[in-house]
Chains A and B, each alone.
Chain A
Amino acid sequence: QQQVKQSPQSLIVQKGGISIINCAYENTAFDYFPWYQQFPGKGPALLIAIRPDVSEKKEGRFTISFNKSAKQFSLHIMDSQPGDSATYFCAARGGATNKLIFGTGTLLAVQP
């Protein structure tokens, strides 16, 4: 119940295309869903986050879509750029704690 399942494991997108990464969870107590971007040798950097009372959140080229009934959420990267090539992690957190449960990560390669 504590798992967050992430797919795909890797993704290749052409420059200017849309990158889509999906995550699913089981625990309905989760109430905060962030996405992190990680470059090699660096720590994860927060990209965007959403709460379950919102179905979509957009920040620049990054959009989270959230489906509470299906217990799924996804990250869309519009107009993907080579600089977006990194590993992306979804995560979930519940209640009065800062324990994040992470997905297994998606390695995104944007080809020029």
Chain B
Amino acid sequence: KAGVTQTPRYLIKTRGQQVTLSCSPISGHRSVSWYQQTPGQGLQFLFEYFSETQRNKGNFPGRFSGRQFSNSRSEMNVSTLELGDSALYLCASSLGGGFGNTIYFGEGSWLTVV
């Protein structure tokens, strides 16, 4: 069974640009969450999607957005990139509605903003 797949794995963007990251969850999983990992702030929750609806959102500015498609695949977008957005962006998938469901992470997308 394939794991959580994230693309691209590495990318470099310039300040002010926007970026779109993609995530394919484990087959059958309907919940997709996104996290940002930096050395200074650690692992921080961005948002969660379940059945194409955003179910939860972390404390990030509106430049960070996401969506989920009917096949459960998800994308997140960061507009007007800032140097501080350089991070590892992790996607996680789970069967569904919380309690008891195991959460699996992908390998992440490394974003460098120059």
Task: Given A43-B107, A44-B105, check contact A98 B94 (CB 8 Å).
Answer: yes
Whether B105 and A98, one on each chain, are in contact in the complex, defined by CB atoms closer than 8 angstroms, is no
What size tier do the contact residues of chain B reach?
A: 20 to 34
Whether A97 and B98, one on each chain, are in contact in the complex, defined by CB atoms closer than 8 angstroms, is yes
Is B64 positioned at the interface, with any CB of A under 8 Å from its CB?
Answer: no
Chain B hits for A99, CB < 8 A: 33, 45, 48, 56, 58
Whether A101 and B45, one on each chain, are in contact in the complex, defined by CB atoms closer than 8 angstroms, is yes
Distance, CA A94 to CA B100, complexed state (A): 10
Distance, CA A49 to CA B42, complexed state (A): 20
Chain B hits for A45, CB < 8 A: 105
A63-81 vs B, Cβ < 8 Å mask (1 yes, 0 no) = 0000000000000000000
**Which residues in B have some Cβ–Cβ distance to A below 8 Å?**
4, 31, 33, 35, 42-45, 48, 50, 55-56, 58, 90, 92, 94, 97-108
Q: Which 6 residue pairs are nearest across A and B when measured between Cβ atoms?
A: A102-B43, A43-B105, A96-B98, A43-B107, A44-B105, A99-B56
**Which residues in A have some Cβ–Cβ distance to B below 8 Å?**
31-32, 34, 36, 42-46, 49, 51, 89, 91, 93-105
Other than A43-B105, A98-B33, give 17 A-B pairs with Cβ distance below 8 A: A31-B99, A43-B90, A43-B106, A43-B108, A44-B90, A45-B105, A49-B102, A89-B43, A93-B103, A95-B98, A95-B99, A99-B56, A99-B58, A100-B35, A100-B43, A102-B43, A104-B42
